Amino acid sequence: MATVAQPIQVVNAIPVGAEYYVLHRADQRKTGPLRPEDVATLVRMGQLSVHDDVQEAGGNGWVPMLQSKLRDHVLEGAHDARLVSSSCPHCGAGLVVQIKRSGFGLFLIILGIALTPAFGLGIPIFIVGYIIRWGGKGKAIYRCARCNYASR
């Protein structure tokens, strides 16, 4: 009689009584030992970031929280806005959105202002520069005020 193999189900379960240490990326400060529930609560309160590193008590290596066994437990209560581009990946501080505009457009505006009194050609150059500089949407970049990280 032939037997049918059952699929193996891999579960990323947290062992009962497990404790973790957290390494804050912002200031390299260690916190712990903490239970998984405490880690999730501190993330919801904003005292820990999902970008911090964790280490299981007795373990020997730091792992990013979102790649650890705590991932699902921590993400249950985390706000979507906190996960999407609002935290610096280097230090965990909040990111500020800046709009980058064309440098060439700015050059044409300045050139147009400079050439207007001398030759009268500056007005069309100024208008073209203005359209290039302010006519489009620009490119949004995220910048960290603490460590000066910038997305490209």
> What residue spans define the domains of the chain?
20-78, 96-144
Backbone phi, psi, residue 89, to 5°: -70, -15
Average pLDDT per block of 10 residues along the chain, 152 residues long: 50 68 85 85 80 84 82 64 60 80 92 87 92 86 84 75
Q: What is the pLDDT, as a whole number, of residue 46?
A: 75
Q: How far is CA 33 from CA 47, 51, 110, in A?
A: 15, 18, 59
Task: Name the amino acid, one letter, at 129.
Answer: G
Q: What is the pLDDT, as a whole number, of residue 26?
A: 77
Q: What is the pLDDT, as a whole number, of residue 8?
A: 43
Closest CA to 39 of 61, 27, 57: 57
Which residues make beta-bridge pairs with 150?
Answer: 143
Cis peptide before 36 (omega within 30 of 0): no
Q: What is the pLDDT, as a whole number, of residue 11?
A: 44
pTM of the model: 0.45
Measured between alpha carbons, how far is 24 from 50 in angstroms, rounded to an integer?
10
